[in-house]
Amino acid sequence: TSRNQSLSEHSSLEVADADTPVDLDVCSVRRESHDLELAKLKRNVEALTSQVVCKNDSQWLQASETMVRLSETCGQLCAEVALLTARLEGACSGQLQATPRPPC
């Protein structure tokens, strides 16, 4: 599935990132970008949730599938933000941390 592919790509990026020094500016920009994207996705989910227009079963199914995809994307972004935050905190404290397990 695309989720497994995304997780595999994410793991590959973590391995590649482990060999490179942490650049605080890059981490900060990435974190801000992820935070903005996460906020946008949450607003989209809230907008879909607040719309109670279900004219037929196929529309309900499509809305439900969209919400599931958005929820998965939010979870992936949350995990990336947690990882970058942990790395940023590790860099600020002068030590790189092993890849933490995201709280999401």
> Could you tell me if 75 and 38 are in contact, meaning their C-beta atoms sit under 8 angstroms apart?
no
Domain ranges of the chain: 25-92
pLDDT in tens, 24-52: 777 888 888 888 888 898 888 888 776 65
Task: Give dist(CA 41, CA 88) in Å, integer.
Answer: 24
- Looking at residue 14, what is its pLDDT? 56
Q: Which residue has tokens 């490179």?
A: 20
Alpha-carbon distance of 2 to 8, in angstroms, equals 10
Query: For residue 95, what pLDDT is reported?
Result: 58
Mean pLDDT by 10 residues, the chain (104 residues): 57 53 75 88 81 66 87 89 87 63 57
